[in-house]
Amino acid sequence: MSKRGFLDISFSWVFAILIGAFILFLAIYGVTKFTKTASMSEDLELSKEISFLLNPLETGFEQGIMIPLKLPTESRIKVECDDFSEQGFQEIIIQQEIYNKWTDTNTGTKEYNKYLFTDGFVQGKKFYLFSQPFEFPFKISNLIYLTSSDKEYCFTGTPNSIEDELSKFNQSNIFLENCESPSRISICFGQGNSCDINVNTIDQSIKKFEEETIYYSGNALLYAGIFSDSFSYECQLNRLMKRATSLTKIYQEKATIHSRNNCDSYLSSDLGKLEAFLGTYSNSKDLKSIEGTINQLKGSNQHAECKLW
C-alpha cells in the first residue's frame, strides 16, 4: 500500500470520527437540554399544584387542621418573599433531586394574597401544612405554615392554650414532651437552658440561635415566628401590614356609612390611630406600641350595635 493511500484512509477515518463525535455531542446536548427543560417544567407544575393546595387553607375552609403533602421525589420547597410592591408577593420555588442532582429551577409560582411561612427552604418527600387566622383586630388573612416531616420540633413549658391547639393538628413532627433528643428542634417558653428557640410570652418575643429577635402578637404570628426564619417572617409580616392598611380604610368608610344611618359604632377614632400606626410601621418590634388600640377596637366592635366586622 502506498503512503498516499495510507494517508487517505487515515484522513477518512479521522473525518468520520470527528463527524460522529459531533453528532453524538449534539444528541447528548439535545437530550440534556430536553431533560433540563422537562425538569424545570415539572418543578413549575409542582409549585402550581402546591399553590392550588393552599387555597382552602387561605380561605379558611381548612382552618385548624393539618394537611399532609407528599411529593414523588426528594424535593426542596423555597418561599421567596417580596414586600416592595403595593401588596408584595411570595413565590413558591421547587427543586427536585433527579439522578443525584438538584434541578436548578429559579422560577416559581407567584401569589399576591397568600402568606406561607417556612424556615428558608424545607427538604424531604413529605411535608405538613396547617393554618391559623391572623386578626389585627379584624381578620387580615389565614397564615399558613409549612414544615418537613424530616425536621422535628419539640415544645416545652408550653402554655395550655397553645399545647391544646398543637395537639389538635396531630402532626407527627411536633412533640410536646421528650425534648431531650438532640435531633429535635427545642422550643422553650420562659427560661430555657439549651433551647434552639426561646419564646418570651411577657414581651412577646422569639429568639433563635444566631438570628435577630422577632416579635409577635397572637398565636398566629407566634407560630409564624417559630416555623420561619427571621428574614422571611419580617417580610411576610410587612406584607400583612400593607393588607391591614387597605382593610382599615375600608372599615373607616363602613363606619362613616353606619354613622350616617344613625348607627354609629364609635370606632372611627381608634381606626384612625391604627391607620397612623400602619403608615409608620417598620418591623415586628413596632407591634407592642399598637397592642392597646387593637384590644380597644376588638372590644368596641364586639359591643357595638352595628358591628364593622
Low-confidence ranges of the chain (pLDDT < 70): 1-44, 53, 59-64, 191-193
Q: Pseudo-torsion of CA 278, 284, 285, 290, nearest 10°?
A: 40
Asked if 93 contacts 106 with a C-beta cutoff of 8 angstroms, the reply is yes
> Where along the chain do its domains lie?
236-303
H or E stretch at 33: helix 3-59
Burial label, 164 (beta-carbon count in 10 A; 0-12, 13-18, 19+) = exposed
Q: Mean pLDDT of all residues in the chain?
A: 85
Asked if 240 contacts 89 with a C-beta cutoff of 8 angstroms, the reply is no
**Polymer length of the chain:** 309
CB neighbour burial string for 227-237, b if at least 16 within 10 angstroms, e if fewer: bbbbebbbbbb
Q: For 119, phi and psi rounded to 5 degrees?
A: -90, 95
**Report field, pTM of the whole predicted structure over 0.85:** no
Asked if 223 contacts 114 with a C-beta cutoff of 8 angstroms, the reply is no
Tens digits of per-residue pLDDT, 141-194?
999 999 999 999 999 999 999 999 999 888 999 999 878 788 899 999 986 667
Tens digits of per-residue pLDDT, 46-55?
777 777 767 7
